[in-house]
Chains A and B, each alone.
Chain A
Amino acid sequence: MKKALLPLLIASLIPAAAFADVTVYGRANVALQYADKNVGDQQYSELVSNASRIGLKGSEVINDDLKVIYQFEYETKVDDGNNSNNQTFAQRNIYLGLQGTGGTVMGGMFDTPLKVSQEKVDLFNDYVGDLKNVLEGEIRAKNIVQYSTPAWGDVTVNLAYVNTEKDVPNADDGYSASIAYSTKALYLAVAADTNSKRASDGTLSAVDTDILRAVARFNIGPVVLGALWENYDNGVIDEDGYLVSAQWNITDAWALKLQTAQSDMIQLDGQSTSVGVDYKMSKTAKLYGYYTVVEDKRLNATTLLVDDAARTDDKYFAVGVELNF
């Protein structure tokens, strides 16, 4: 079938009443990336699909005070076709919930309040410079139920429970919570998470894993400054990490981005530094380029010295296109 007929096909399949409040959305993001990796001394180019996805979201009004809300979002690999699950589509944020004057309750599989609290401070989100490669806590939890308060002025509170669905020793449910103050000029958030990843993955452990995160974003004229601090304590390590970012919107079309993140949470002395430039072709399409360096100091298990052959010291250069619809 011709791709141009897809919208008409979808429209023909959805009942009239249901389609009224459906929003179809998505992102196609593909880049040609050159990688220079330390391990194995590899240099190669690759086509990368940076979290390209398509989704449906909408609501069904029950009465003046209540509506059913839903979202179904799937990732698809623009470059390879198949995701890591060997399927064309991989589940991202999916939920069904109720929204009313008393707030929002929703259940499904979706990003925890702690993950969402990063807002847009991570300027290289979904790219190789994503903060998830350096900091813990970027969790899309299964079996999660969340309650979000109505906006209290510009403040919102989110409380989530992750069901481990097990009744065995050392299986714990997870919890994640955040409070965020959000305006166009200023964003502040504090979030905490206990055992969400363990509960989502069904991993057993005798000790709790706690994460505390604080996020700030300031818009000062054409400059957007972001900062994120985090503490991660899994009973074995208790580490702090941070991310700072700056975006200079040189014109309406051009933007320059800088970001660095550092922590010992995932690897000893893990660090990611990126510089990038965006060229907005339209409201929904942009060209971009970035240069990212990812480093760590991996230790040899026997000598406990830095293993230069095994450590990450990788450089990436990419140019790509993003289309949002």
Chain B
Amino acid sequence: MKLKLVLLGVLLLSPLSFAAEKADCGLAIDEADKIVPDPNSDCDHTKTGLNGVLHRAFASKSSSKNSNDDSGAGNQSESRQSENPQPLLTKASDEKREISKDQKKLLISDEFSNAQELQLLKFNLLAKAAVNCAKGFSVDAERYLPTVNKNLKLELVYQCL
């Protein structure tokens, strides 16, 4: 009986064509509370909050992986490094070393313990690379490694243009 009333409601409401504005893009949790996701939603939560940090972290990981995949036979020293991953735990230090003389690939790294530090550290590493490369540079790989003191170390592999 009550289900019939609901179906009756469908018929009653169907002619409605209110020109009211659709709801704005809200928080991800509010969308989750609606249970059924809106297939027409254009909301992008990949740039905010924890979700944004995750997506940026993943984008960096993906970028690093692609760079490694793209490296050719001439980058054997770099390729070997990828195939033989470094020890799981590394010592934290602000490193800068040449890892492939043929390709003049350089590696710089530093350690961070939170998202804010990561942003600052990454900027500083890029600034250091810029100092070394007066004509600019390209980043070939970006790696994140655990350290003995339970932080993470970011390694940037780059070469001057």
User: A residues touching B (Cβ–Cβ < 8 Å)?
Assistant: 1-2, 4-5, 7-8, 10-12, 14, 16, 19, 22-27, 53, 55, 57, 59, 69, 71, 73, 93, 95, 99, 104, 106, 110-111, 116, 146, 148, 150-158, 175, 177-179, 181-186, 188, 190-194, 210-212, 283-284, 324-325
Contacts and interface: CB of A to CB of B under 8 A. Distances in A.
B42 interface: no
Interface residues of B, number: 51
B5 A5 contact: no
B114 A181 contact: no
Given A25-B45, A186-B18, 11 more contacts: A16-B58, A19-B58, A23-B46, A155-B13, A157-B10, A179-B10, A183-B20, A186-B20, A190-B6, A211-B2, A325-B50
A5 B3 contact: no
B18 A93 contact: no
30 contacts: A2-B150, A5-B113, A5-B114, A7-B54, A7-B115, A8-B144, A16-B61, A23-B45, A24-B50, A25-B28, A25-B29, A26-B29, A55-B32, A71-B32, A71-B35, A73-B32, A148-B36, A153-B16, A154-B16, A177-B3, A178-B6, A181-B13, A181-B16, A183-B20, A186-B18, A211-B2, A324-B29, A324-B30, A325-B48, A325-B51
B80 to A, nearest CB: 22
Contacts of A2: 113-114, 150-151
Contacts of B6: 177-179, 190-192
Contacts of B115: 4, 7
A108 to B, nearest CB: 10
Contacts of A194: 2-3
Q: Which of B3, B48, B62, B150 has the most CB of A within 10 A?
A: B3
B10 A24 contact: no
Given A4-B113, A191-B6, A183 B23 contact: yes
B37 A69 contact: yes
A51 B2 CA distance: 31
B22 A16 contact: no
B84 interface: no
Contacts of B148: none
B21 A183 contact: yes
A11 B46 CA distance: 13
